Amino acid sequence: MGSYVKLAKRAVETDMPVMVQYAHQHNHVNVAYEYVLCVGDCVFIPCARERALHGVERKSENLDGASGEIIPYAWICMFYVLQIQELVRGAKNAVSLAQGVVYWQPPKEALDKVKELLWDPSISRYGADEGITELRDALIQKLQKENKLVKSSVMVTAGANQAFVNLVLALCDAGDSVVMFAPYYFNAYMSFQMTGVTNILVGPSNPETLHPDADWLEKILSEAKPVPKVVTVVNPGNPSGTYIPDPLLKRISDLCREAGSWLIVDNTYEYFMYDGLKHSCIEGDHVVNIFSFSKAYGMMGWRVGYIAYPSGVEGFQTQLLKIQDNIPICASILSQHLALHSLEMGPEWVTERVKDLVKNRDIILEALSPLGEGAVKGGEGAIYLWAKLPEQYVEDDKVVRWLATRHGVIVIPGGACGCPGHLRISFGGLTENDCKVAAERLRRGLEDLLSNGIVQ
Ligand SMILES: Cc1ncc(COP(=O)(O)O)c(C=O)c1O
C-alpha cells in the first residue's frame, strides 16, 4: 500500500470541530446548523468531553512544526512579495506587468443575479464547510464533463491558494519532504514552508521547454528516504506559462503512484491555453486537483476556488473539513453564488476573453525582443512569459526595482520563483491599449539596460 493513502498526522490527530463532526455524522451540514441554532448548548460540548464520551485518548506528541525554525529562504520569498507590493505602491505612475490578474470583471448576468440575493438571510450566515450544495453539484458536473474527473469529490475554498494550504495541512507533517520544479509558484513554496514543511526538493525543468524533468523525478522518488509526501505542479504554469503535455502529466502521475507520493496539480489557468493546445487533467487515488474562479471569471477579489479530491480515499474528506472549519469555515456565501451563476455562463464565456489575450502576449513578446533569441520562454498557456536576463544580472530584484523607478514598469523577479536572473511578465491584467503602453516602457527599459546598464 502506497503512502499516498496516509494523511497528515497533524490533521488525523487533531480534534474534529464539533459542529462539523455532528454534521458529518448526519451527512447533512445544513441540518447541523439548524440544530446548533435550536439546541446550541447541547452541541457546543468541549472537545475533551466529546473525546471522553467516545473513549478516544489524546495523543501527547507535539506534531505541530509550524513553530519550527524557518530557513532563510522563507524570508527571501516573503521579502520578494513585500518588495513588489511596495514597488506597486511607491513607483508613481508605474504600470504593472507583475500581478497575476485579468483585466475583465465577472459576467454581468451573474453580478446582477447576486445583487438580488443580498438581503436573503442565508447570505449572511455560515454555510456548509465544503460549499453550498448548488455550487458543489454544478462543479461535480463541470469536472465530469470538462475535466473528465469522474471519481472526484469537491470542496469549495476561498481561492486556490487556500485550497493549497488546506491540502498541505491535510497531507503533510513537519519534517516531510515534498517536490516542486523550478521555476515554481512562489505561494506554493511559501505554503509548504509556513506549515513547517521545510524539506522542499526543488527539481529542474527542461531548459528548452521548461517542462518538469520527469527523469529527475524518477530518480528522486526512488532515492529519497523517506519518500517525498507530495509532488506538485502547476498546469499551465505560473511563472512560466508552460503547459504540461498529457503524456508527461501521466508519467509524473505514474511515478508518484508507484512511489506512494501524492500529486497536487494546480489547474488555476485551465482555460488559458493558446495556439490550439488543450489542457487536460489526471485522476487517481493519489491525485488532487485545484481550480480557481479568480482569473477565468475575473473574480480575484471574490475569493472562490475548489479542490477535486479522490472520493475513494477514506478519511480525506474528514481531514479537509477539519482544516476548512479552522480557516475560513466556508468560502463567502455571496461569492459562491456569484461563482455558480458565472459557471452557468459556460466555458465559452471565458475562452472568448482568453483568446484576445494572445494579442497582449504578442505585444509583450515584441517588447522582450532586445533580450535576444532564445531568452524568452513559456507563454503557451496561463498569462505569463518567462525571460532570461543577460548573465551579469543574476540579482534580478535590482533590475526590477530599476525598471520600476526609471522606466515606470513593474515585473516580478525570477528569484522569487527559485530562478535568479529571470523576469516573470504577466500579460493578463491590462487591456490591449494599456498593454501597449506598458510594453513600450518595458522595451525601452531593456534597451537601456543592454546599452548602458543600471544607470540611475
Ligand atoms: C498557479 C496559481 N495558483 C493559485 C493562484 C491563486 O488563485 P486564487 O485567487 O484562486 O487564490 C494563483 C494566482 O496568481 C496562481 O497563479
289 Cα to the center of ligand 1, angstroms: 13
How many Å apart are CA 379 and CA 86, to the nearest integer?
Answer: 27
In ligand 1, which atom is closest to the CA atom of 269? 1
The string of DSSP codes covering 75-125 is HHHHHHHHHHHHHHHHSTT-EES-S---SPPSPHHHHHHHHHHTT-HHHHS
Is 96 touching ligand 1 by the criterion CB < 6 Å? Answer: no
d(CA 344, CA 342): 5
237 lines ligand 1 (CB under 6 A): no
Q: Which of 420, 375, 425 is nearest to 394 (CA)?
A: 420
Q: Is 294 in the pocket of ligand 1 (CB under 6 A)?
A: yes
pLDDT digit string, tens, across residues 392-447: 999 999 999 999 999 999 999 999 999 999 999 999 999 999 999 999 999 999 99
User: Which residue puts its alpha carbon closest to atom 16 of ligand 1?
Assistant: 238
Closest to 414 measured CA to CA, from 402, 425, 405: 425
pLDDT of amino acid 67: 29
Q: Each residue of 447-456: pLDDT tens digit?
A: 999 999 998 8
Q: How far apart are the CA of 292 and the centre of ligand 1, in A?
A: 7
Whether ligand 1 lies within 6 angstroms of the CB of 157 is answered as no
- Most distant CA atoms of the chain, gap in Å: 75
For residues 188 and 443, give the distance between their C-alpha atoms in angstroms, rounded to a whole number: 31
- For 108-345, CATH gives 3.40.640.10
Q: Pick from 277, 195, 181: which is nearest to 231 by CA?
A: 181
Distance CA 237, CA 424 (A): 11
Query: Which residue's CA is the closest to the ligand 1 atom numbered 2?
Result: 268
In the chain, where the domains are located: 1-37, 77-100+348-452, 108-345
Q: What is the CATH number of domain 77-100+348-452?
A: 3.90.1150.10
- What is the tens place of the pLDDT at every residue in 48-74? 333 333 333 333 333 232 222 223 344
Determine the distance separating the centroid of ligand 1 and the alpha carbon of 294, expressed in angstroms: 7
Give me the residues of the chain with pLDDT under 50, please.
1-2, 27-75
Distances (CA, A) of 112 to 6, 85, 138: 44, 32, 19
Report helix, strand or coil for 325: helix
Whether the CB of 191 sits within 6 Å of ligand 1? no
Question: What is the structure's pLDDT at 18?
Answer: 76
CA distance 54 to 22: 13
Q: What is the pLDDT of residue 198?
A: 87
Which cell goes with 153?
469529490
424 neighbors 80 (Cβ within 8 angstroms): no
> Counting every residue, how long is the chain?
456
- CA 160 vs. chain centroid, Å, equals 4
